[in-house]
Structures are given as structure tokens and as C-alpha cells.
Structure 1
Amino acid sequence: MPPTDHERQAPAPALTVHRPEDERALADWRHVHNAVIPAHPLSAEEVRERAGRNHLEVAHLDGVLVGCTTVRPPAPAAPGNDDDTGDGAGGTATVIARILPEHRGRGLGTLLYDRSLALARSLGAREIETVVLSSNPDGLRFALRQGFTETERYLLPGDTVPWIDLRLTDPPAPRPAPPADPTPPA
């Protein structure tokens, strides 16, 4: 006997995450960044520059733009300095996951964060930091739930909304590994 309508299950939503390698994908990344951080909008040129020095990704759920990430990789340690002091020179990466407000509360931020954290670790990060605009209470609560602790609040020149730097000090218990990177190797 075939399943009834009640017994049929809808297919699981498909989350796709990839590096923004064309102008359309860079524009998607920029849209999410500027929607989540309206006090510090980026131009297309600034996004292209960031894509050259950081690992950026953009996320779609069933073809709908939902978020983006940034991983600022750890800087190489200075010659002869194998001991990272936590100043970003040789072992500290910054991991940022952004989810558009209308898509929050469904676990997407956790999926993107876990994926970005795994990437940062694979790049040699021993310390993980993040940064949140103080006008984004959802982002701050998310970071605190992930085990981050506030280290500094500051204003950049010309800004009126403080930034909050946080360091991962008490990560939650390990979760299942994030999905593999669907982007083919370059």
C-alpha cells in the first residue's frame, strides 16, 4: 500500500555553502554582511579585498540566501617565535558567522560556525576569536552560547556603535562534524 499524504515526509532542506568566487556570490556575501552590520557597510571593492586575504563563504538554504561567514586565518608566527602569545601572530584566528535575521533560530548559525571553526583549526589556529557589533544582541548571545568570553569593547574612528571582541574560552561539547566543503579544490 503506498504511503498516505500524512506519512510522506518533505525532503530535508538543502544547505549549500561555498566560497564566493564570482561577482554575484560576492554580492550575496556583501548583502548579508551589510544587513547584519548596517553600521559598517562594505563596498564591493572592500569585499573583493577581504576575499583575497580571508576565507569567505556564503550560505543558501534551498536556494535562498541565509548567511555568510568569515575566517581570518592565523598570521604566521614570527621567525624563531613558536610560542603564540594570543596577539594574533601565529595562532589566533577570527571566526564570524552571520545569519540574516529572518533565518535565525533554526540552527543555521551553529552549522556555519562549526564549519568555520573546523576550517580555522585546520589552518593552525590554537586560539579562536570573534567580533560582534554591540547592536546585534542575537549575535552576542550566540557567541556567548558557543563559549566565547568578552575581552574588549571599543569604537573605531567615526563609529557610534561599539564592537565587542570575544575569545573562545569554554567551548560546548563536540557536535557532529560539519558537512564537508562542497566547493571543489582550486
Structure 2
Amino acid sequence: MSDLRIEQVDSDASLLDWQHVHNLLIPTAPLSLDDIRERAQRNVLEVAYVGDVLVGCSTIRPPSDETPAATVIARILPEYRRRGHGKVLYERCLVRAQGFEAPAIETIILASNVEGLRFAEARGFVELETYLLPGDTIPFVTLRLQ
């Protein structure tokens, strides 16, 4: 059973924690603190801890004119995977995303994150598209919940 504590990003310390997880797991698209502050204005950003130990982060993007689907992204640091933390964080994201009443729910995973892709597929997500950001060598995979 996961003993995860999840908090919304609302301070410099939590911004730094969110940044740490994101930039470690998505090294092809690192974000500055200003980038994250801007994202926190339009998305729900959360950090996850076991006790005082940072284990992950999440993003919930509401639907927009560009993307009518809600997007959920749950990230757990590799050393804390397979303990139920990802499931708890993902389920929380899913509940919040369903509150947007979007026509679909999607997730985005770096193609090199084989564990993350398996995790999403095991929960009913199917690949929608693969895309490469300018200058990147590892594509992102967008999956939609069926």
C-alpha cells in the first residue's frame, strides 16, 4: 500500500521539487523555474512524497482550444517505482481530469520510458501519435484513454 502524500505546487520549494523530477525524467526538454511558474498558472502541478522524501510529480492539463482532451502525466522517480506510488498518483490525476468533462483523456510519455508506456497501456491508454520536438532525438508518445 502506498503511503504517498501529494501536494499542489505552491511554493519555491515545491517548484524546485517538481522541476527536479521533471528534468531528471525528461532530460530532452528541461524546464526552468520560470517555465514551471508559467505552467502552474494554467495546469495543476503536484509533487508526491513518502514522508519528506520526494518520489514524483504530476501534471493535469485542462482541455484547451488547441487540445480538447484533458492530459494527465504522473511521474515517479525510478528508485520509487513498483511500490504503488504511480497508481495512487495516476488515479488522483484521473479523477481531477474527469472533473474537466473533456471529451477524452490523454497522457504524454517520452518514448524511451518503456516502464511508463507499459504503465499507461495497462490502464487502457492506446497510442495516438508520436512526435519529435525540434532538436530532440527521442520522441514523445501521446496516448488516449479508451
Q: Report the TM-score, using the length of structure 1 for normalisation.
A: 0.75
Q: What is the identity, as a one-letter code, of the residue corresponding to 1:164?
A: V
Q: 2: CA distance between counterparts of 1:45 and 1:32?
A: 16
Q: Is the 8 A contact 1:66 1:99 kept in 2?
A: yes
Unaligned 5+ segments in structure 1 are 1-11, 77-86, 170-186
Structure with the bigger percentage of helix? 2
- Which residue in the other structure is 1:40 paired with? 29
Structure with the bigger percentage of strand? 2
The residue correspondences of 1:106-125 to structure 2 (distance < 5 A) are 106-125=83-102
Aligned residues: 146
- Greater C-alpha Rg: 1
What root-mean-square deviation, in Å, do the aligned CA atoms of Structure 1 and Structure 2 show?
1.4
- Which residue in the other structure is 1:180 paired with? none
Match of 1:88 among 67, 70, 76: 67
Unaligned 5+ segments in structure 2 are none
List 4+ stretches of structure 1 deviating above 4 A: none
1:7-57 alpha-carbon deviations (Å, 9 max, x no partner):
xxxxx8642111110100000001011111111111111111111110010
- Which residue in the other structure is 1:167 paired with? 144
Q: What is the identity, as a one-letter code, of the residue corresponding to 1:99?
A: I
Q: What is the identity, as a one-letter code, of the residue corresponding to 1:65?
A: L
Q: Report the TM-score, using the length of structure 2 for normalisation.
A: 0.95
Q: Percent identity?
A: 53
1:129-173 alpha-carbon deviations (Å, 9 max, x no partner):
00110111111111111110001111111111111110001xxxx
Q: 1: CA distance between counterparts of 2:62 and 2:113?
A: 24
